[in-house]
Amino acid sequence: MRLDPAAVRKARPDAEVSTFRHLCRTEVERFRDALQDGAALTVGCTQEAPLFSELAGERDIPIGFVNVRETAGWSAQGAMAGPKMAALLAVAAEPSPDFPLVSLSSEGIILIYGRDERAIEAGNLLADQLDVTVLLSQPEALEPPGVATFPIAQGTIRAATGHLGAFELTVDDYALARPSSRDKLIFEQPRDGAVSRCDLILDLTGGTPLFPAHDLRDGYVRADPRDAAAVLRAVLKARDLVGSFDKPRYVDFTAELCAHSRSNIVGCRRCLDLCPTGAITPDGDHVTVNAEVCAGCGQCAAACPTGAASYTLPPADVLLHKLRAMLMAYHGASGADAIVLLHDDEHGAPLIEALARHGEGLPANVLPLGVNEVTQVGLEAIVAAFAYGAAGLRVLLRAKPRHATVGLSKTMALAETILAGLGLHGARVSTIETDDPDALGAALYGITPTAAVQHPASFRTVGRTRDVLRFALQELHRVAPAPVDVIALPDGTPFGTLEVNIDGCTLCLSCVSVCPTGALRDDPERPLLRFAEDACVQCGLCQATCPEKVIKLVPQIDFRAATAPTRMLKEEEPALCVRCQKPFGVKSTIDRVAAKLEGRHWMYPNADKRVAAIRMCADCRVITMSEDGFSPFADVSERPAPRTTDDYLREREQQAKS
């Protein structure tokens, strides 16, 4: 592996850069010397990270590790990988904040769900470590065990909820095995709707999984019963799921920002439609996220238009900081045509390592950046990457993803539309879906170079996702080769304006009351309606709530909206109370109501005082009616009493007597 310290020094003139040939063995004393000053330290090796961490002991400033061998040096283009090494070292120096944790606890109560003797055999393997119950769905003839080590029952699971340590199952056709069974198991009288609670589920039925995205449900272990090796792996995995476990709280949710619904009218459903595990459910005007069920795919945070759901591993602004450090160091070391490769550690990292060890390695201009889940990548990260000077972006996916990636596909399609609208044409953003390292290499070496922005941005911003996205879009617009003010977007995007039929609008302001972001605004002094496009997330609540149906959503991005004042949609003269002169409504509306009622409704004949009451505020209307003593029912004949069954029976009895 060829090292290029000159490129690293050029990109990081503030850092002390040293190179070694055998740092983990014969030159280990030089590593100990570097620890003495207590400064921030980054080591370009991950293979020997345990050794270096042990040598460092307890240290106030943790040591950063980065793999420059498999990701840069071991490559057919390794001689040109100096700028990439500088970029990787710069990313490693970026701090990663701590993330909150969720605790799950399991006492080892397991339900083994199967169809035949293989479920009973799995129970025998686990009986010494776990509290086992075997549930057989529509079992055939099975020989009773000689010793009843654990309960055996029949039944079919109709519904399943919960997570590791807190599963709840609804079982139909439930019946325990009779202890008097002789040559085959005989079960008691079955019943439906039985409820079972357990900490773990081992599913050996081979049928439909009990949960969506079942691979991501903690505590639910599933294997094909026809694969003996897979069953053994599942048994060993279930055996270890006893005790307390910590998992990241992947999503930080702020209910006040949620645009799900108002007044029982549903607006935004993006997160509900995308969550693969069902961890998100409606909860009044907002949604709620079950942190114990959430598997961390991040699609809800990437799609949330208001930033109510934000990813924590890492937060959106921290991911942008890493992209910034990577691309600024790469360009600072004279790198060109940067392609950002986003991958996860579980699938992408081994694939990249295999390509480096057994193939041509990554191209010198491909900058890999590991994230927890590639589906967590939102529009703000893609936009920022191109603003920082990336020429392209690729996302590495499994050939068969463990859950749907619809959210990521929509985000990438939206990014392509925006990039093309700003003059960055071509296939800039796409996925590579493979489990083959050679196919990965072929896809990366086959990328046609495209020009990046000439003067990359260098902004560094913090805050919630929506704020970070706004700033990134403004910066991309500033450095784009062919900026335009307005770009039309497809339906369902979180940017846009409104078209209001002014003639049909009555200024009832119901749209203002339901707008979750304050994009629609009124004035307490005058009847008017204003609109701030920069705040609109196209949730559709205003359109669904408008009684006159005069609002239409127009998805677009207007780069002038961030600095533009609120736009006046409609303004009218207020209606002044004819008695106290206090404004109480819209003049045109009151005139229209008075014209429809005066002389045409029995409550409002041509009497001056009654008609005048329409043009009074609520307080004066009550006072006037009380002073003049008029009642809307004064000239109405008395309503006959309603007839009842007793009346008819009484009449029939009187007729019979007469």
Query: What's residue 385's pLDDT?
Result: 98
Token pair for 565: 């004042």
SS3 13: coil
117 inside domain:
yes
Query: What's residue 335's pLDDT?
Result: 96
Q: Note the pTM of the prediction, 2 decimals.
A: 0.88
215 inside domain:
yes
Spatial separation of the C-alpha atoms in residues 474 and 330, rounded to whole Å: 23
> Which of 311, 342, 360 is a domain's end point?
311
Residue type, 55: L
| Same domain assignment for residues 531 and 383 | no
| Same domain assignment for residues 423 and 370 | yes
Spatial separation of the C-alpha atoms in residues 368 and 342, rounded to whole Å: 6
> Which of 246, 267, 294 is a domain's end point?
246
> Which of 266, 285, 311 is a domain's end point?
311
Token pair for 628: 């003049």
**Alpha helices per DSSP H over 132-289:** 228-239, 270-274
Query: What's residue 631's pLDDT?
Result: 66
State pLDDT tens for residues 422-463: 999 999 999 999 999 999 999 999 999 899 999 999 999 999
Token pair for 70: 């498999």
| Same domain assignment for residues 470 and 376 | yes
581 inside domain:
no
State pLDDT tens for residues 176-203: 999 999 999 999 999 999 999 999 999 9
57 inside domain:
yes
Query: What's residue 358's pLDDT?
Result: 97
131 inside domain:
yes
Check residue 396 and give left, alpha or beta (phi > 0: left; psi -120 to 50: alpha). Answer: beta
| Same domain assignment for residues 116 and 160 | yes
**Alpha helices per DSSP H over 187-308:** 228-239, 270-274, 299-303
When divided into structural domains, the chain yields a total of 4
| Same domain assignment for residues 189 and 83 | no
Query: What's residue 634's pLDDT?
Result: 63
| Same domain assignment for residues 91 and 109 | no
| Same domain assignment for residues 272 and 327 | no
88 inside domain:
yes
Query: What's residue 594's pLDDT?
Result: 79
Token pair for 87: 């970029």
| Same domain assignment for residues 381 and 500 | no
Token pair for 309: 């759901």
427 inside domain:
yes
Task: For the chain, report the end-to-end CA distance as a whole number of angstroms.
Answer: 121
| Same domain assignment for residues 289 and 163 | no
In order of 113, 122, 225, 238, the CA distances from 229 in angstroms are 18, 12, 9, 14
* 339 sits in which H/E element: strand 339-344
345 inside domain:
yes
DSSP 8-state symbol, 250 = -
Query: What's residue 397's pLDDT?
Result: 97
The rounded average pLDDT for each run of 10 residues, N- to C-terminus, in the chain (658 residues) is 92 91 94 90 94 90 92 96 96 91 97 96 96 95 92 97 97 96 94 97 96 95 96 97 96 95 94 96 96 96 96 95 97 96 97 97 98 97 98 97 94 97 95 97 95 96 93 96 96 94 91 95 91 96 95 96 92 89 84 75 62 83 78 68 90 91
| Same domain assignment for residues 371 and 422 | yes
Structural domain range at position 505? 496-571
- The CATH number of whichever domain residue 223 belongs to comes to 3.50.50.60
**Alpha helices per DSSP H over 152-227:** none
Beta-ladder partners of 201: 111, 220
| Same domain assignment for residues 403 and 320 | yes
- The CATH number of whichever domain residue 257 belongs to comes to 3.30.70.20
| Same domain assignment for residues 128 and 199 | yes
Query: What's residue 609's pLDDT?
Result: 65
In order of 99, 313, 477, 479, 558, the CA distances from 467 in angstroms are 21, 18, 16, 19, 16
